[in-house]
Structure 1
Amino acid sequence: MVIQEFDVRFSDESCELLICMEALSPCDSFKKFDASKLLRLIEMYPDDFSTADRMTEYQLGNYIRNVKKDERFANLNNIADLIKVMVETRNHLSHPLVYRLLKLALVLPVTPATIQRDFSAIKLMKTNLRNQIGDDLLNACLICAIEKQALANHCYKC
């Protein structure tokens, strides 16, 4: 049942994306690290990575050798901890490709949630009464509903 639910909720591309992101996991001394999966992740985002980035497989090999030698990277449990240690040790400067992949892996789960929240706000705002108003007024109402925090901060300063 769990596998069926997983198949219903996630497309093949989403599953592949999750599998590729798993290759960045620092758990069990980077046991799941796989350069080919990371290269596939780079290919999935051609606008974010240059052709030169796609050809730097050696940087991935250097990265894994360096972090496995450094005891500061031992016993990390998640990608967020890994990126913190990378910045603290300044390894983000010597391995910029890996650092960008880590940032991508941290941002991707947030993006669908943000979009779903925005559509929920649209659904709440789009009632029968508001269906009869013009697009400009509806857009203004939606901006206020979606950007509540920014609007509250702005009103508070006034």
Structure 2
Amino acid sequence: MYTASCSSVTWIVIKEGKGAKRGEADKAYDDMTSFEFVLVLHIMIDFGITNDLCQALQRKSQDILNAMHLVSNTKILIQKLRDDGWENLLQQVLLFCNNHEIEVPNMEDHYIYGRGRYRQPKDRVTNLHYFRFDVFNAAIDSQLHELDFRFNDEMIELLYLSSSLDPKRKFQNFKVDDIYKLVSKFYPADFTEQEKLNLKSQLDLFFLEMMEHPQLDRLKSISDLCRWLAETEKGEIYYLIDRLVRLVLTLSVSIKNRRACFFSHEIDKDRTVIAWRMII
């Protein structure tokens, strides 16, 4: 794929021959055949460890607890990549550059931005320091920061408590105390003090009825539970539980929402930018 892309750019240079398009193609070819570009490509390949998390969060059937475990394990793998992955990555990049006749800079020399007449020194740091800390570590830290921001301790607790409403496996995770804590801590303004007391009674009755109900096995998610409450009009009887279920389904990080993770890489005359974003 890399060789084909370089060949395509070269073909554009030959075909156009002159003018602005040739200049743009020349610049693109220079960027694509630079050590820095190859390094970024390999970093993106290593970041494939986030792919399973991204795919899982896009599945509507994904339950909350499994999503939490995936987030936690992905953060562990990313941190391990940061701590132990640099040497292996560098060897892969050097081998790739050797196979494709790409110039490899001396790692002990000072890093220089750009190529040709656009070359500029950067703060007197070595190539090794720049590539490892300003590119590799910075990209990983960006991902870890984003995951910590999206799934901080408070959000993890909210998701954990919400999982008590998950009807999978006949409400295996159903815990009255956790559901009551969910209401008290995260939805205090949505229930009066009297309603909070009534909620406990509703939860006890609701759980007993659910254990005897023949339609339980077809409920696979909190959204299924919400739909079932509406279709059977049980939501009118268990109106406090129905209200809570609807509140949980409005979570900005609800597993029902679709997510996509992607990298954007841009090379310009000033610096290399590697950005990672998770779209909710």
Normalising by structure 2, what TM-score?
A: 0.37
User: 1:27 deviation in Å?
Assistant: 0.2
Q: Tell me which stretches of 4 or more aligned residues in structure 1 moved more than 4 Å.
A: 3-8
Q: 1:50 aligns with which of 192, 196, 200?
A: 192
Paired amino acid for 2:180: L
Q: 1:22 aligns with which of 156, 159, 163?
A: 163
User: 1:2 deviation in Å?
Assistant: 2.0
Counterparts in 2 of 1:3 and 1:110: CA distance versus 1, 3 Å: closer
User: 1:41 deviation in Å?
Assistant: 1.1
1:5-64 deviation digits (Å, cap 9, x = unpaired) = 555542211111001110000000000001111101111211111101221211101011
Write the distance in 1 (CA, Å) between the matches of 2:187 and 2:150.
22
User: 1:80 deviation in Å?
Assistant: 1.0
**Which residue in the other structure is 1:106 paired with?**
249
SS at match of 2:220: coil
- Equivalent runs, 1:21-40 vs 2, <5 Å: 21-40=162-181
1:96-139 deviation digits (Å, cap 9, x = unpaired) = 1110111011111369xxxxxxxxxxxxxxxxxxxxxxxxxxxx
| 1:10 to 2:151 alignment | yes
Q: Choose between structure 1 and 2 for higher RCO, CA contacts under 8 A separated by at least 6 residues.
A: 2
Write the distance in 1 (CA, Å) between the matches of 2:75 and 2:225.
29
Does the Cα contact within 8 Å between 1:63 and 1:95 map onto a contact in 2? Answer: yes
Write the distance in 2 (CA, Å) between the matches of 1:96 and 1:47.
16
Paired amino acid for 1:15: I
Higher fraction of strand: 2
Q: 1:88 aligns with which of 231, 248, 252?
A: 231
User: 1:87 deviation in Å?
Assistant: 1.1
Q: Greater Rg, structure 1 or structure 2?
A: 2
SS at match of 2:249: helix
Q: Which runs of 5+ in 2 are unaligned?
A: 1-72, 77-143, 255-280
Normalising by structure 1, what TM-score?
A: 0.64
Q: Which runs of 5+ in 1 are unaligned?
A: 112-158
Identity within the alignment, %: 29
